[in-house]
Chain A
Amino acid sequence: MDALIVIFLTGLIGLFIGMLKKPHLNLGVTLLGLIIAFFLQLYHGYYTSPFINYQVLEFEVSGLYFSLLAIGFSILIVLGGYRYFKRDANHTGDYYGLLLFSLCGAIILIGFTDLFMFFLGLEILSIPIYVMVGIKKQDVLSAEASIKYFFTGAFATAILLFGIALLYGATGSFNLNEIRTVIQSGEYQSSYLLIGILFILGAFLFKVGAVPFHFWGPDVYQGSPEIVTAFMATVVKLSALFAFYRFFNGTFQELANFWTGALYFAIALSLLIGYIGALKQSKFKRLLAYSSISNTGYALFVLLSTSNSSLGSLWIFLVGYGCATIALLTLSMAIQNDNDEISAFKGVGFKNPFIGFILIISLLSLAGIPPLTGFFGKFSLLMNAYPQHLYLVILALISSLVGAFLYLRLIVLGLSKESESERVTIGLWHYIVLGICAAGILGAWLIVTI
């Protein structure tokens, strides 16, 4: 809770500092607040009890780990985007403020105990992002992405609320634990409950961006600024996946036979459509959006397993995926790829060996090549589901092959000898962000293995 308050206050202060039009001061304050929040959360994880209950929010060990990840990713995104704000100093304060408010929503979404907090968290997460997507006011693409994200997002919210209302009608409670007790006792109105679960499942698939509700993803990712794309692809996805897990593997566990079929369908299609759609893209952010659809498919494997270790697998998978995504988008910002063409990456790795190294390890990690974090995440997620869901695991391996082809093509492009630009130089902060991402990709799996 105190981390949440620190983040919220930092956002508020950031909005006021934004009026001074001093981007560096704004960046410093935002980073300071985020780092304080990070260590507060870390302190709670290690020195106080592993289970914190604030009546409306509670963080178990897994919740603390996931919220640490959300704050950490936000720090990297803010740092990596510092040069972006230099270019338009008018909106700097708005950017940082909205990003921090959205992060508050993400942390609430990780720690909710009842549907009140869940709904509020989801809205606090979504509403600032509707604005952030469209923050380049003169840009036609940005406006279009904002419109598309707003209408599909509001539609999904309405569907989710209808599901929640039916869930309340079936069980008579908003508290997740009470709902679970009622479901276990069997005294519920079964038709309301089942329809409600389907509505909630649909809304969640929308929020994490899985097929059949993925259509908004590529458009919105392409239209929004890189820094917002990175936030949506990592922090939003992470918190929505964790809430998804708590709903379906916690509360609705007894009804697994009912929803597993629909989830099967969603995972299988996500795995295939994501990578196959990515093959024909020429815009970089669009390609990343399609690849993130497939990665969501892998992450959703966590819902199929009943073992306790599956959240650990999801965490390590998300570390690998998030670090690689942030590294790639930071690179795209650093080489000033304004038109968002993949061809802008041609030869950058050859001109600057550090960029080449980052490009290779982040793409190999996304492709799932050992011994990088992405491999261990995918491997343990699939192993958790292995005996019961054999066909889905085989499908995941096939889709991995398609993905490997996609990512290897990018590596070849990045390391080719002829280059678009003469020299590639990137800023000091970019080096720091890329270094941290590289450390995460190379070494984060050690945390879980030890």
Chain B
Amino acid sequence: MNSVDPTFATSIDFYVILASILFVIGAFGVLIRRNMIVLLMCIELMLNAVNLLLVAFSTYYGKGDAQIFVFFIIVVAAAEATIGLSILIMAYRNNKATDAGLFKNLNG
């Protein structure tokens, strides 16, 4: 078992609860909001909840590898936001709206 930072050992649960609340807010946002730009923001919120959780665990175990993982997540999130926004612009040109509910051509 890894060595655990004693000053941090009792409070790790609070970080997990906070990150979980942020994550759930983001997930609910993705499920109920219709505006696609807000959807992108909600996904970013979920990813940042994960970042917070990883940093907390990294301090808890006294190891740095989770913090490096956070940098990877930030980079990938930036790439994903870029792609997402460009897809959104393309969809906007076809549809003249950013409402996810308007995409009803594919079903069955």
B106: Cβ under 8 A from any A Cβ: yes
What residues of chain B lie closer than 8 Å to A172, measured between beta carbons?
A: 1-2, 57, 61, 63
Is A120 in contact with B49, judged by CB distance below 8 angstroms?
Answer: no
* Contact of B108 (CB < 8 Å), options: A161, A164, A168, A218: A218
* Contact of A162 (CB < 8 Å), options: B46, B94, B107: B46
A23: Cβ under 8 A from any B Cβ: no
A157 closest partner in B (C-beta) = B80
Most chain A CB within 10 A, of B60, B79, B103, is at B103
B88: Cβ under 8 A from any A Cβ: yes
Most chain B CB within 10 A, of A168, A182, A218, A219, is at A168
Most chain A CB within 10 A, of B80, B95, B100, is at B80
Is A141 in contact with B106, judged by CB distance below 8 angstroms?
Answer: yes
Segment at the B interface, from A127-135, A384-392, A431-439: A127-135
B21: Cβ under 8 A from any A Cβ: no
Assembled-state Cα–Cα distance A146/B90 (Å): 10
Is the contact region of chain A dominated by helix, strand, or loop, or is it mixed?
helix
A334: Cβ under 8 A from any B Cβ: no
B82 closest partner in A (C-beta) = A127
1/0 contact trace for A154-172 toward B, CB 8 Å? 1101110110111011001
With A144-B103, A151-B30, A162-B46 in contact, is A286–B108 under 8 Å at CB? yes
What residues of chain A lie closer than 8 Å to B25, measured between beta carbons?
A: none
B18: Cβ under 8 A from any A Cβ: no
Is B100 in contact with A147, judged by CB distance below 8 angstroms?
Answer: yes
A150: Cβ under 8 A from any B Cβ: yes
A222: Cβ under 8 A from any B Cβ: yes
What residues of chain B lie closer than 8 Å to A143, measured between beta carbons?
A: 87, 90-91, 94-95
Assembled-state Cα–Cα distance A182/B1 (Å): 7
* Contact of B106 (CB < 8 Å), options: A144, A182, A280: A144
Is A151 in contact with B39, judged by CB distance below 8 angstroms?
Answer: yes
Assembled-state Cα–Cα distance A148/B72 (Å): 25
A147 closest partner in B (C-beta) = B91
* Contact of A158 (CB < 8 Å), options: B26, B54, B90, B91: B26
Complex A-B, nearest 9 residue pairs according to Cβ-Cβ distance, in ascending order: A158-B46, A172-B2, A219-B106, A165-B53, A169-B57, A161-B50, A187-B1, A144-B103, A143-B91
**B residues apposed to A, CB below 8 Å:** 1-2, 12, 16, 19, 23, 26-27, 30, 36, 39, 43, 46-47, 49-50, 53-54, 57, 60-61, 63, 65-66, 68-69, 72-73, 76, 79-80, 83-84, 86-88, 90-91, 93-95, 100, 103, 105-108
**A residues apposed to B, CB below 8 Å:** 115-116, 119-120, 123, 127, 130-131, 134, 137-138, 140-141, 143-148, 150-151, 154-155, 157-159, 161-162, 164-166, 168-169, 172-174, 182, 185, 187, 192, 218-219, 222-223, 280-281, 283, 286
